[in-house]
Structure 1
Amino acid sequence: MERRAVATALVVGGGIAGAVTAAALRQAGVAVRVFEAHAGAADGVGGMLMVAPNGLDAFAAVGVGERVGALGQPTSTMVMEDFRGRKVFAFDGLPGLPASRTLWRSDLYRVLHDRAVELGATVEHGKRLVGVEEDEDSITAVFADGTTATADVLIGADGIRSTVRALIDPDAPGPEPVGLLGLGGWGPPVPGIGDPGVMHFAQGKRAFFGYWATAEGDTAWFSNLPHPGAMSSAQAREVPAEDWLRRLRAAHEGDHPAEQVLAGARDLQITGALEILPAVRHWYRGRMVLVGDSAHAPSPSSGQGASITAESAVQLARCLRDLPDLPRAFAAYEGLRRARTDKIIAGARRTNNTKAAGPVARAVSRALTPVLTRTLFTPKRIFGDIHAHTIDWDERVGA
């Protein structure tokens, strides 16, 4: 049998990135232990997200494509509008690709966690990583409770504030605020909104607004309010919900249908400042490697966070399966992923800058958008190579 890079792995982080990485590694024949800092599982934690066609393809590679494809509701059409509610352009998806899915983060987590366990991964909670001890043949994780665990490789799937990233490179960047706050919730039905498969995005006069009909008949919505500087979700939740609603209603005064939706808004979901991760120079060192938001966090504006996390997990598992040593496996993994994730992050940064623009820039953008969407910004140009990306699990990886 051909020698491969690893037989055992420690995955630090038990959320979406950790669960899909564990599932992919188990499918590749690697024994996996997952360690999560929080005391309990992530059921019921987090808001809504979108899984794009490329994400569905990656999840299919670990055997949960149909399960993920049954979650939430399909989003087959995206419509860009102005603040008056007039359509600027619509994207109906690319031919031959499934519709994106809009779903609860906690539902996706549960499917992925169950798949990892089903394949033989073990998951331990209350294990906060504080250090590592590495030698020629293995790496040992040291946890805050004094326990340790040893394996061939340690994978940092511990999110945008990754401890593993800092261990790989103490000078690695941390997350940066993008100049926007994220808030969302539910509101009354919007006449003429269309079926639940249509998601609407409107560049308002002072803030960005997204909304769509739910299967239950009401309206789900989110708003990105311009806001300089950082604000954690905990800090944002310290502000009373009614204060946030007053600010939202003032920001969207005169915007249609945001003004009407927010008049009856309820069950406010508060994210805090949206963040993006600048380019991480070192994805790996020695026997440690990063996956998901610890390596590439593009901010929610990309609509790609969960999808590219799944892609990276699958590609890392393929490289560790097919290549005989860690340096070659890690280099091949980064070679398969970095250019693509850099491009998606750059696109998210441009979107964030547009959302956070001042009134003059917004007016210029509104004037130019109809022209650009007929020429440069066609759906195929915007989404083609992102949504149509596929991974062949069975194809061998070359060095």
Structure 2
Amino acid sequence: MDAQFLSGKKIIVAGAGISGLSFTLAIRQLWPAGLEPPHVVIYERDSDAVTPGREGYSLSLAGFDETGGLYAARDLGILDEVLKHATQGLGNQFVFKVMKFKPAAGLPTAGIRIARKNLRRVLTNAVGPGRIKWNTACVDAERLPNGGFLVKLSGNDIAADKTTTECDLLIVADGASSKIRSKLRPDDTLQYAGVMQKGGLAIFPNGIPQPVDKNWGMLLSSGKVMACFLSPYDETSVAWGMSYRASTIEEPLKLSGLDDAQKVIDECKELGKEFPEPFQSIINATDPKDVSRLAARDKQPFSHDLSLGPIIFIGDSNHAVSPLSGYGASLALKDGWDLSIQLCNSNSLAEAVKAYDAISVPRANKVLKESHQTIDMGHATGLNYLVTRSLLSIGGFVLGVKEAISFT
């Protein structure tokens, strides 16, 4: 096996999200002993601190088969640390598509929820200091005559004479609204999935209410084509997201201040007035600083064309899924690990990319299809709603999460 095609080369990772960090950690662990490793640098537009509006952002990590994020966490050597930060889900079963699943071999649980900030902290600690250039974004890339890339940088922490840098391989992991993808693949854009979502973080200093203190779950509404997802974020807060069908994206998505945030809270109180407690208590306890409004959007995965140059898109930059899928973080962790395996074990970049696409594209397509099914189930009407309720009454579960809440 000849892995020399990346030995001593410079790899830039655009984005210190879940997939970019997973890749950086994985390639260091998997690199063949005795060979000079590549030099990997991550550029991240945000700071190391949690950005406003993302405090209440939690994720699901599945572990019932090899596609799950917990499986990748085990391979990356961070599973124990990840489990320490789990908000819920350390039982012996994970619920998915109205079915119970047991943990995959070697895993203690089939699924957890974890705050995004905690998962990112576990990954950044494992990657180690000095590898991430914070407050610096990769905003464009140009192929060089020598076969590499000239990457354009932007940020407050870079000097005027250091706005570009070169690399031999560019790993694009800058999220669903990727700047690099918009430049090199301008027609490959996010598509609206037909659902709007408003959400926030409710604070309970004396402890969160039952039954959300033990499980995460969903409230359904038959009359308004609406659902509300509730999940513990930590011991004193609950993350919630109310979603509903809308024919077009409701603008503006970005909230302009606390007054806008309070309007969102008030709208959700009215939309969900038929929901039983603890819904109203959760809405009333929501901190306006952590309220968001978004449109559920996703994007088909694509196989790579190396005629663009040595560039690989991973995570949401390649195959974005909406928050309603519950599988985006698992895909991101697996992408980083699987790409690293192929790069370390192949004889050329072309061979590695072909093998990686054969794994990642079918996996992402499957998750995207299931995501749309989840949206349909969670916002069903008429007979479809009755079928969904029947399934819930038999299994007590819905859309990959326990029915810990009363259903209307």
Aligned length: 366
1:50 paired with 2:60, answer: yes
Cα deviation, residue 187, structure 1: 6.3
- Specify which of 161, 173, 176 is matched with residue 157 of structure 1: 173
Matched, 1:35 2:43: yes
Q: Which amino acid aligns with 1:301?
A: L
Displacement, 1:315?
0.6
How far apart, in 2, do the equivalents of 1:251 and 1:78 lie?
30
Distance 1:35 1:217 in 2: 33
TM-score, structure 2 as length reference: 0.78
In structure 1, runs of 5+ residues without a counterpart are 81-88, 384-399
Shift of 1:94: 1.7
CA contact (8 A) 1:32 1:122 kept: no
| Corresponding residue for residue 77 of structure 2 | 63
In 2: Cα distance, 1:194 partner to 1:37 partner: 34
C-alpha deviations, 1:264-305, integer Å up to 9, x for none?
Answer: 332243232233222144545320110110011111111111
Distance 1:284 1:156, change over 3 A: farther
Task: Evaluate the alpha carbon distance shift between residue 115 and residue 267 of structure 1 in structure 2; reply closer, same or farther with a 3 A threshold.
Answer: same
Residue pairs, 1:205-244, within 5 angstroms: 205-206=223-224, 207-212=226-231, 216=235, 219-227=238-246, 228-231=248-251, 233-235=253-255, 240-244=260-264
Rounded Cα–Cα distance in structure 2 between residues aligned with 1:263 and 1:241: 12
SS of 1:208's equivalent? Answer: strand
Q: For structure 1, which segment, 183-192 or 53-62, has the greater mean C-alpha deviation from structure 2 after superposition?
A: 183-192
Q: Aligned residue for 1:201? A: 218
| Aligned counterpart, 1:273 | 294
CA contact (8 A) 1:187 1:218 kept: yes
User: Which string of whole-angstrom CA distances, capped at 9 and with x for unpartnered residues, describes residues 31-57 of structure 1?
Assistant: 20111233x224355222222222111
Q: Which runs of 4+ in 1 moved over 6 A?
A: 77-80, 187-191
Match of 1:147 among 163, 167, 187: 163
Separation in structure 1 between the aligned mates of residue 48 and residue 271 of structure 2, nearest angstrom: 37
SS at match of 1:125: coil
Bigger shift: 69-78 or 55-64? Answer: 69-78
Identity, in percent, stands at: 21
| Amino acid aligned to 1:152 | D
Higher alpha-carbon deviation: 290-299 or 145-154: 145-154
Distance 1:25 1:214, change over 3 A: closer
Query: Which of 122, 131, 135 pairs up with 1:125?
Result: 135
Instruction: Choose from 350, 359, 364 the match for 1:341.
Output: 364
1:102/1:141 CA distance change after superposition, 3 Å: same
SS in 1 for 2:199: strand
Distance between the aligned counterparts of 1:193 and 1:90, measured in 2?
A: 19
- TM-score, normalising length: structure 1: 0.79
Query: After the TM superposition, which residues 73-112 of structure 1 pair with which residues of structure 2 at under 5 Å, given as runs?
Result: 73-75=87-89, 76=91, 93-95=101-103, 97=107, 98-112=109-123
Q: Is the 8 A contact 1:164 1:290 kept in 2?
A: no
Cα 1:213–1:169 change in 2 (3 A) is closer
- Answer yes or no: is the 8 Å Cα contact 1:177–1:230 preserved in 2: no
- Contact conserved, 1:212 with 1:221, CA < 8 A, in 2? yes
SS at match of 1:180: strand
Indicate the residue corresponding to 1:393 in structure 2: none
Say what the alpha-carbon RMSD is for the aligned residues.
3.3
